[in-house]
């Protein structure tokens, strides 16, 4: 595991360091990337609603500036977290994934949900606390599952209306309160394509470019049932032979990893490593 990016609590009162500007799952970037001299960035025409010291990258202190609204600067653009996931720099994606989670959390907890008082950062702890009623909030994660369902040399892939045209992927969904992740796998597969599964196997996890999300990856074997697609969620679902697959998700995604692992197993090839 690379140590270029080390998340930690850094005192945001101290001057200096590098800063990232984040707003609604997007980052300010120029031709050199997303890291800017912190003092320079704070002098730009931006409304900072929260600032957090989030760790060290290549030994330098990194700070997050959560911006109220995107700003327009000459030769700058706003890029989505998903774009960075596909660019191939695993360490930078880990940094930005963490920054996006902290930024979203700080944006959503500026005021107490119990008494509406402005929240305050807790010193030396990643927490926001209400000075009036002492309610405390920590960054949260929403676990979700993603699963590849297989039947011998066949894999079950589906399309959402939100996907890139022609691309098929694995099935996914959020864990509901009170259920295990394995129960979520069985429920979501049944809801989305109408089949039951067995022998559920955990393969790995990946931070996902969606607020609060941690994607837990599984493989499951087909047990019974015919494909019945969930209206408005699934526009097509089919069994595909491992020798004749449709266009697949990006190579750095956990969805593609689940597919590649199974294909490698069936064809007697070396198994890939989950990126990042």
Instruction: Read off the pLDDT of residues 163-210 as tens digits, 9 standing for 90 and up.
Output: 889 999 999 999 999 999 999 999 999 999 999 999 999 999 998 777
162 shares a domain with 239: yes
Task: Enter the tokens of residue 165.
Answer: 């045209």
263 shares a domain with 190: yes
**Structural domain span for residue 51:** 5-108
Q: Are 199 and 221 in contact, with CB atoms under 8 Å apart?
A: yes
151 shares a domain with 231: yes
Nearest to 244 by CA among 154, 181, 166: 154
175 shares a domain with 258: yes
Question: How many domains does the chain contain in total?
Answer: 2
In a domain, 120, yes or no: no
242 shares a domain with 182: yes
* pLDDT at residue 90, as a whole number: 82
Give the bridge partners for 219, in sequence order. Answer: 148, 201
Lowest mean pLDDT segment, chosen from 12-16, 19-23, 24-28: 12-16
* pLDDT at residue 209, as a whole number: 72
174 shares a domain with 84: no
147 shares a domain with 100: no
147 shares a domain with 101: no
In a domain, 275, yes or no: no
239 shares a domain with 160: yes
In sequence order, the 6+-apart residues with CB closer than 8 A to the CB of 46 are 21, 65, 67, 71
In a domain, 88, yes or no: yes
Using one digit for the tens of pLDDT, what is the confidence trace for 154-173?
999 999 998 889 999 999 99
């Amino acid at each position: 595991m690379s140590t270029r990016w080390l998340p930690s609590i850094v005192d945001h009162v101290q001057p200096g360091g590098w800063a990232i500007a984040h707003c609604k799952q997007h980052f300010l970037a120029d031709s050199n990337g997303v890291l800017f001299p912190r003092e320079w960035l704070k002098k730009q025409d931006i409304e900072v609603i929260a600032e957090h010291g989030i760790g060290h990258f290549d030994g330098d202190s990194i700070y997050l500036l959560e911006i109220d609204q995107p700003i327009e600067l000459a030769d700058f653009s706003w890029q989505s977290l998903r774009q960075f996931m596909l660019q191939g720099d695993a360490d930078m994606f880990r940094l930005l994934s963490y920054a996006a989670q902290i930024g979203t959390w700080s944006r959503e907890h500026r005021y107490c949900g119990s008494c509406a008082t402005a929240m305050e950062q807790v010193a030396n702890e990643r927490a926001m606390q209400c000075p009036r009623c002492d309610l405390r909030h920590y960054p949260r994660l929403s676990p979700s599952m993603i699963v590849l369902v297989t039947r011998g040399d066949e894999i079950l892939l589906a399309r959402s209306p939100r996907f890139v045209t022609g691309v098929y992927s694995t099935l996914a969904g959020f864990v509901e309160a009170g259920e295990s992740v394995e129960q979520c796998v069985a429920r979501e597969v049944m809801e989305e394509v109408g089949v039951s599964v067995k022998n559920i196997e955990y393969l790995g996890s990946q931070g996902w470019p969606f607020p609060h999300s941690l994607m837990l990856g599984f493989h499951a074997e087909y047990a019974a049932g015919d494909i019945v697609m969930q209206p408005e969620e699934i526009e097509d679902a089919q069994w595909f032979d491992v020798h004749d697959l449709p266009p697949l998700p990006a190579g750095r995604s956990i969805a593609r990893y689940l597919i590649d692992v199974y294909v490698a197993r069936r064809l007697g090839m070396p198994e890939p490593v989950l990126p990042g």
